[in-house]
A and B are shown apart, each in its own frame.
Chain A
Amino acid sequence: MSLFSRFMDGWRKYRKPGYYDEFDYHWTMAIDLDKCTGCQACMTACQAENNIPIVGEEELARGREIQWIRVERYWEGEYPNAKLSFIPIMCQHCDSAPCETVCPVSATYHNQDGLNTQIYNRCIGTRSCAVYCPYEVRYFNYYDHHWDSPLEQQLNPDVTVRGKGVMEKCTFCIQRIREAKDHAKDDGRRRVQDGEVQPACVQTCPSKALVFGDRKDSENEVSVAINDPRKYRVLDELNTDSSVFYLKKVDA
């Protein structure tokens, strides 16, 4: 009975409108496309921080890259009026995430911090979340990856190394969020302060195009950014209610 009532509780919780408003935090990222230079430092930062494997030329040729954050490029016009725009795309941590509904084993779900999770050790590898994700930000481990020794000494011990058959994606650097919460607790604080957590990509961005923070705090940088008149969300028409906001590129 307790099992059943727990199940019903969870069910009701998920069904309740405004459930997401009760999140402890609402981690959000804002990316100013007017500042993005396409340098891809964010990609290397992510690769270093999150133990993203080196897949090799053959696998890349087969389209098996793993890039939790990638910089997409879109050309407009032809010579001499050609224009190139960059847009970093990573997991958008949608509040209405299509991927979350489809995972048969709940390896991906929405947690109380407004994060779209991916629990690697629960994943059975149906890859359906990657199909359902319109942003194509979920990457699959098609085999066990290998680091030529001693490259493996660089691996971040705070992030697990994913084995074959597991889906992976951007976590907003959950290990850093966890660490910041840990520090907050040490200091006897209830909440993490603004600026305490910076995912690797945000930390490293040379032009400071990326901003990260808790949307619940209406004062901080990210809240200001997402109220900017230039704000938009990629593929907003799909109503994914994503947590990554982009600021439009200025065409002057």
Chain B
Amino acid sequence: MNVSIVPSLKKLRPVAMLVIVVLLGLVLGYWANAAFLPGTSPEQPIAFSHRIHAGENEIPCMYCHTQARLSPSAGVPSVSKCVGCHLEIATERPQIRRLMSYWDNQEPIPWVKVHDLPDFVHFTHKRHVLAEVECQTCHGPVETMDRIRLTSRAADGTAQANHPWEMGQCLSCHRENEVENGTDCWTCHK
């Protein structure tokens, strides 16, 4: 009688292969979704380009996101702010026309939120801006983006596109910069 386990293992091979293929398939499908439909750069109601505004025209971030240095939330500019410039500039372009139709109807523009944190996180733009953290540190090279893409900061300090923020990323920066009480849970959680 054969006591070796090898022949028995051989008999199991089809099953094992099936399991491996299924697992691989799951990973592949998940990855495919992440790669091709990341959902990290959603289409906006108006194809606003940060590249043109912040990049080419070098408009400072805080010109539109005025609240970033005053308030926990950076805020989006009011429609009137956009209209303020575009009454004069590039009035004939289709996207500007679209903007004007919002303005004419006195409707707000429903921008899709890209950078989002869970409800239990207390993040304040104000403290980070006042501590002279560059906007790009957390939001990536916004001035190169035509459409905003979710970007976070990898542990090595580089921008990490399509990757949501994780606690470790906040922490590594807080550690590097020796932020006061920067690793106390209650500094960032509420």
* B122: A residues at CB distance < 8 A: 158, 175, 178
B186 at the interface (CB under 8 A from A): yes
A193 at the interface (CB under 8 A from B): no
Contact indicator A115/B119 (Cβ below 8 Å): no
Contact indicator A174/B186 (Cβ below 8 Å): yes
* B184: A residues at CB distance < 8 A: 111-112
Task: Give 1 or 0 for each of B99-129: 1 = CB within 8 Å of chain A CB.
Answer: 0000000000000000000111010101100
Contact indicator A122/B124 (Cβ below 8 Å): no
A227 at the interface (CB under 8 A from B): no
* A24: B residues at CB distance < 8 A: 181
Interface size class on chain B is: 10 to 19
- Which residues of B, 143-190, contact A by the 8 Å Cβ criterion? 181, 184-187, 189-190
Q: Determine the distance from Cα of A122 to Cα of B118 in the docked complex, in whole angstroms.
A: 13
- Which residues of B, 61-106, contact A by the 8 Å Cβ criterion? none
| B190 CB contact (under 8 Å) in A115, A159, A182 | A159
* B186: A residues at CB distance < 8 A: 111, 115, 117, 119, 171, 174, 178
A158-B122, A158-B190, A178-B122 are known contacts. Are A109 and B127 too (CB-CB below 8 A)? no
- Which residues of A, 144-187, contact B by the 8 Å Cβ criterion? 158-161, 171, 174-175, 178, 182, 185-186
Q: Within the complex, what minimum Cβ distance (angstroms) separates B179 from chain A?
A: 12
A239 at the interface (CB under 8 A from B): no
| A182 CB contact (under 8 Å) in B118, B127, B181, B185 | B127
Contact indicator B118/A121 (Cβ below 8 Å): yes
Main secondary structure of the interface of A (DSSP, over half): loop
Contact indicator A111/B189 (Cβ below 8 Å): no
Q: Give how many A residues have a beta carbon under 8 Å from the other chain's beta carbons.
A: 21
Residue among B119, B127, B187, B190 facing the most chain A CB atoms (10 A cut-off): B190
| A161 CB contact (under 8 Å) in B119, B181, B187, B189 | B119
Contact indicator A160/B120 (Cβ below 8 Å): yes
Task: Give 1 or 0 for each of A106-122: 1 = CB within 8 Å of chain B CB.
Answer: 00010110010101111
Contact indicator B120/A121 (Cβ below 8 Å): yes
Contact indicator A175/B124 (Cβ below 8 Å): no
Q: Within the complex, what minimum Cβ distance (angstroms) separates B121 from chain A?
A: 8
Would you list 28 pairs from A and B whose C-beta atoms are within 8 A, ordered by A residue? A111-B181, A112-B181, A112-B184, A115-B186, A117-B185, A117-B186, A119-B185, A119-B186, A119-B189, A120-B120, A120-B189, A121-B120, A122-B189, A158-B122, A158-B190, A160-B120, A160-B189, A161-B119, A171-B186, A174-B186, A174-B190, A175-B122, A175-B190, A178-B186, A182-B126, A185-B127, A185-B130, A186-B130
User: Given known contacts A24-B181, A119-B189, A122-B185, what 11 new A-B pairs fall within 8 Å (CB)?
Assistant: A111-B184, A111-B186, A117-B185, A119-B186, A122-B189, A158-B190, A159-B190, A171-B186, A175-B122, A175-B190, A182-B127
